[in-house]
Structure 1
Amino acid sequence: MTMAPDVLSLMRTSDWSGVRVVVAGFGVSGFAAADNLLFLGAQVTALDESTSEEKAEKAGLLETLGATIRLEPGATAVLPDDTDLVITSPGWRPDAPLLAQAVERGVPVWGEVELAWRLRDPERPAPWLAVTGTNGKTTTVQMLQSILTAAGLRAAAVGNVGLPIVEAVMDPEPYDVLAVELSSFQLHYTHSMSAESAVVLNVAEDHLDWYDDEPGGPTGMQAYAADKARIYERVQRACVHNLADPATEAMVREADVVEGARAVGFTLGMPAPGDLGVVEDLLVDRAFIEERATSAAELCTLADLASPAPHFVANALAAAALARAHGVSQQAVRDGLRAFRPDGHRIAHVAEADGVTWIDDSKATNPHAAQSSLSAFEHVVWVAGGLAKGARFDDLVVAARERLRGVVLLGRDRHVVADALSRHAPDVPVIDVGADETGDPMERVVDAAAGLARSGDTVLLAPGCASMDMFTSYGARGDAFAAAVHRRIARTD
């Protein structure tokens, strides 16, 4: 086929008329991409295997503007002829038939993030402060937005959270700076982004059902980490990394950055010059001050944060590092972190009764997140299980076994957790409540956990697994847990 002229160099000010774009997937990011491409004059075809009332309504809107929309089973099986460019939704695997056909024909495949980078306003291209990692991305990006807002900047949390990034860059009133959350899926399809500063918070097993081992090539875990590392490519000011996770530092060393970009570490311990860390009860900066060789700048106290949990403090340090790299004051960092409150289901206090504290961390959907959550409490009855997504739990159990009063298991892949417990913590009591659909599973979970807990213990819902085997979302799972806790307390009062 003949490619439309200069497709690979298309930017916001380019002539998009006549460019035939296929948008693969018609979710939030797909609709935003299709809508704005129509505005620029492209010929847009959007394809999705499913529909809903909301999708149908949005499809009708874009069809009146000239788009072709197909929402039905089989709609994505064949790439339309004469396609010049494919914009894919982030969840699509590279071996999806439509994307494989694009690669075979030499048609460029971009994600929404790549499109958004190219559509920035050339007169006021808001810098991007980019965040990725296995866990903590959303909290860190929201902390960062709070800090930037406290500094008087027009900022937004975008990307994998909040506003679709294409909508943000196309806003008629340009932002001063964007806090950009990026998943490994989004980074996989990103080719030219040059963030002002970026951080990889951590790297642990997750989404290995998306990343397959390649015979004679990289393992799924290596491919996953390689996509995370793409965030550091072409960074302009600071590559922020986690000193407790050597993989992130290795990524920085390998990155091809803009000349002058710095490596900045963060740690829960005493920071060396050039890093951020914790001194007694203070979060401090020894990276963005002139006298960093001999002193540190106070950013805030642990009491200023919504939680003293170690991973929450680490997220705050990462957000502070990106903000400081952008030139934000110490006071704005403090004020932004003081004002920030995490979304629900992230170490959320549910109740306390008879000396037992009940905590909902349903957002802990992989072993690394669950391990971070468990490390915040001394004696824990752990509620775990769900969809393991190919992950293993051996390292978590070894790290947490001394804290475990007992474990309550539910969900489809609960045996994966049970097997790790039998290998590494055989003396820890385990109650399996199953995954059947009869009755209320959380009633059984809460009753079982209450039977294991003693005064002074924490019952912690940190499943280490996704929720969709039994619940519509991690939020629904957390809500069910909290409701069952409150019902039990009401019964026993």
Structure 2
Amino acid sequence: MGSQEVSTVDWQGKHVTVAGLGVSGIPAARALHERGALVTVVNDGDDERARAQAAELEALGITVRLGDGATLPPSTELVVTAPGWQPDKPLFLAAAEAGVDIWGDVELAWRLRGDNGRKAAPWLAVTGTNGKTTTVRMLASILEAAGLRTAAVGNIGVSLLDAVLGEQEYDVLAVELSSYQLHWAPSLRAHSAAVLNLAPDHLDWHGSMEAYAADKGRVYEGNTVACVYNAADPATEELVREADVEEGCRAIGFTLGAPGPSQLGVVDGILVDRAFVKNRQKQAQELAEVSDVNPPAPHNIANALAAAALARAFGVEPAAVRDGLRNFRPDAHRIEHVADIGEVAYVDDSKATNTHATEASLAAYDSIVWIAGGLAKGATFDELVTGAAKRLRGVVLMGADRALIHEALTRHAPEVPVVDLDRTDTGAMSEAVEHAARLARPGDTVLLAPACASMDMFTNYNKRGEAFADAVRARAETSA
């Protein structure tokens, strides 16, 4: 199916099983029911919240089975799944054996775009292990600066189904896609797409690094204008080589160095384009200054270049790239500067929940007191510590799996002082900040970049970041 073609499905009387209640399952069930499908929702859980959600759907005439997400309902002709459900679940194995297609929420949205009678907006898609949300929001900001009607959708912001079926008309959508979503999106064909980076993540779900990368690479399938890759990450370029794209689609790289032809990069503090100019062998187009990127950390400049590449692929003028980057404000807990106390900067990157994100965060500063730890999710830390050792003034460890980081520090940075907090209550963050402050010297950065998930101590990474910010602000008040 070409990128601009719209699929038509006769839903009337079609037996569709929706796997999972929640943010994607409920809108999918409603949308399918409204189009005449005979919808059955299956859900593993049977708690109070699930029962309340089920009651709302049942009032519409939708069948809901709680506590039984494993059995394929009789007569099922299609399964639409929430992205988090693992591919080896018995429901999916039964569907595959019966020859029943399995779609995710992204696939359903792709098939239903244009269903409301309006022209379907093209998608500019972004995936990668880290940086997806920031890049998509930067992209949306650039598109808005160009005067285009757009939204950041998919894994963030507006749900894709709401975007394609709602009243608002869009010229183009900036779409964040996870590997889970791409796994279940066989017919997705974006206008242009980017894979920002690849590092081991969610391997318990995908089964192997190869399978994880292959699902990420699906974002390039059928691209019509540009496949954007990270020149510093050869695995992303390899995915472009393997993709089956429309004739004329180009491979566009981004780099933190000087760009070659068909690349975007950085020259003397300027973001420049040698891909979407008339004579890319000899000319480069200035897009923005590094100082226009907020914050101007190396990995965030890479995000900005990827966003700019997708916008330029869509025909956006250079001035809109600059204005969009200037207008962009990063989400909370992503390299967020909290305060300066006694010539020491305190930075919250609680969103750095894996080693790849933390590596980028640590690379942004020259001298760091690092606050780390939490749930490791099977990660190892030797490579991370080796790369950051010269930047570390000291380390404060907390959380359930802090010993794994401590062992890596002992092996690869034995001279770095380490404070090991033997507690996992939420109040540990205040003590961590106090220890970090004592280790820090003027010009240092105290950086919360845990390299771990938060659920051993906090509800989510947001709550962990808020605890850090609260502790820093309390210290600032007592230091005033």
**TM-score past 0.5 threshold:** yes
The residue aligned with 1:96 is: 89
Q: Which amino acid aligns with 1:445?
A: A
Of 467, 479, 482, 2:454 maps to: 467
The residue aligned with 1:487 is: 474
Q: Which amino acid aligns with 2:434?
A: D
Q: Which amino acid aligns with 1:414?
A: R
Of 106, 127, 131, 1:136 maps to: 131
Runs (4+) of structure 1 exceeding 4 A deviation are 51-58
The residue aligned with 2:225 is: 237
The residue aligned with 1:84 is: 77
Task: Quote how far apart the aligned CAs of 1:52 are.
Answer: 6.6
Distance 1:343 1:51 in 2: 34
Identity %: 60
Q: Which amino acid aligns with 1:336?
A: G
Comparing 439-448 and 138-147, the one that deviates more: 439-448
Deviation readout 1:418-440 (Å, 9 max, x if unpaired): 22222211221111113433x61
SS class of match (1:28): coil
Tell me the C-alpha RMSD between the 2 structures: 1.6
Distance 2:260 2:249 in 1: 18
Q: Is 2:405 aligned against 1:410?
A: no
Distance 1:382 1:85 in 2: 49
Q: Is 2:426 aligned against 1:422?
A: no
The residue aligned with 2:445 is: 458
Deviation readout 1:64-87 (Å, 9 max, x if unpaired): 22111234xx32132211111111
Of 91, 103, 126, 2:121 maps to: 126
SS class of match (2:151): strand
Please give the residue correspondences for 1:83-232 in structure 2 after superposition, counting only pairs within 5 Å: 83-121=76-114, 124-212=119-207, 220-232=208-220
Distance 1:177 1:232 in 2: 17
SS class of match (1:195): coil
Distance 2:81 2:402 in 1: 33
Distance 2:435 2:204 in 1: 31
Distance 2:47 2:161 in 1: 23
Deviation readout 1:195-231 (Å, 9 max, x if unpaired): 110000000122223233xxxxxxx222111111111
Comparing 314-323 and 85-94, the one that deviates more: 85-94
The residue aligned with 2:235 is: 247
Comparing 408-417 and 374-383, the one that deviates more: 408-417
Change (3 A) 1:67 1:105: same
Task: Quote how far apart the aligned CAs of 1:53 are.
Answer: 6.6
Please report the TM-score for the alignment, with normalisation by the length of structure 1.
Answer: 0.93
SS class of match (2:206): coil
| Structure 1 contact 471–477 (Cα < 8 Å) conserved | yes
| Structure 1 contact 244–267 (Cα < 8 Å) conserved | yes
Change (3 A) 1:347 1:339: same
| Count of aligned residue pairs for this structure pair | 473
Deviation readout 1:99-123 (Å, 9 max, x if unpaired): 2222232221111111111111165
Q: Is 2:334 aligned against 1:339?
A: no
Distance 2:61 2:249 in 1: 44
Distance 2:297 2:48 in 1: 41
Q: Which amino acid aligns with 2:413?
A: A
Distance 1:42 1:468 in 2: 39
Distance 1:431 1:106 in 2: 56
Distance 2:265 2:317 in 1: 17
SS class of match (2:467): helix
SS class of match (1:376): coil
Distance 1:432 1:87 in 2: 46
Distance 1:129 1:243 in 2: 19
Distance 2:58 2:427 in 1: 44
Distance 2:271 2:450 in 1: 30
| Structure 2 contact 256–265 (Cα < 8 Å) conserved | yes
SS class of match (2:288): strand
Task: Quote how far apart the aligned CAs of 1:375 are.
Answer: 0.6
Please give the residue correspondences for 1:299-310 in structure 2 after superposition, counting only pairs within 5 Å: 299-310=287-298
| Structure 2 contact 398–424 (Cα < 8 Å) conserved | no
Comparing 30-39 and 196-205, the one that deviates more: 30-39
Distance 2:457 2:225 in 1: 44
The residue aligned with 2:260 is: 272
Task: Quote how far apart the aligned CAs of 1:56 are.
Answer: 4.8
Q: Which amino acid aligns with 2:356?
A: H
The residue aligned with 1:62 is: 57
Of 365, 368, 387, 1:399 maps to: 387
Task: Quote how far apart the aligned CAs of 1:235 are.
Answer: 1.0
| Structure 2 contact 226–310 (Cα < 8 Å) conserved | yes
Task: Quote how far apart the aligned CAs of 1:343 are.
Answer: 0.6
Deviation readout 1:424-471 (Å, 9 max, x if unpaired): 11221111113433x611122112212211111111001111111211
Q: Is 2:277 aligned against 1:284?
A: no
Q: Which amino acid aligns with 1:17?
A: Q
Q: Is 2:316 aligned against 1:328?
A: yes
Q: Is 2:351 aligned against 1:363?
A: yes
Distance 2:404 2:398 in 1: 11
Comparing 74-83 and 192-201, the one that deviates more: 74-83
Q: Which amino acid aligns with 1:254?
A: E
Structure 1: unaligned runs, 5 residues or longer: 1-10, 213-219
Q: Is 2:22 aligned against 1:27?
A: yes
Q: Which amino acid aligns with 1:65?
A: L
Task: Quote how far apart the aligned CAs of 1:346 are.
Answer: 0.6
Deviation readout 1:165-217 (Å, 9 max, x if unpaired): 111111234311111101111111110111110000000122223233xxxxx
The residue aligned with 1:217 is: none
Distance 2:49 2:247 in 1: 46
Distance 1:389 1:198 in 2: 29
Deviation readout 1:355-380 (Å, 9 max, x if unpaired): 21110000111111101011110100
Structure 2: unaligned runs, 5 residues or longer: 1-5
The residue aligned with 2:3 is: none
Distance 1:114 1:34 in 2: 14
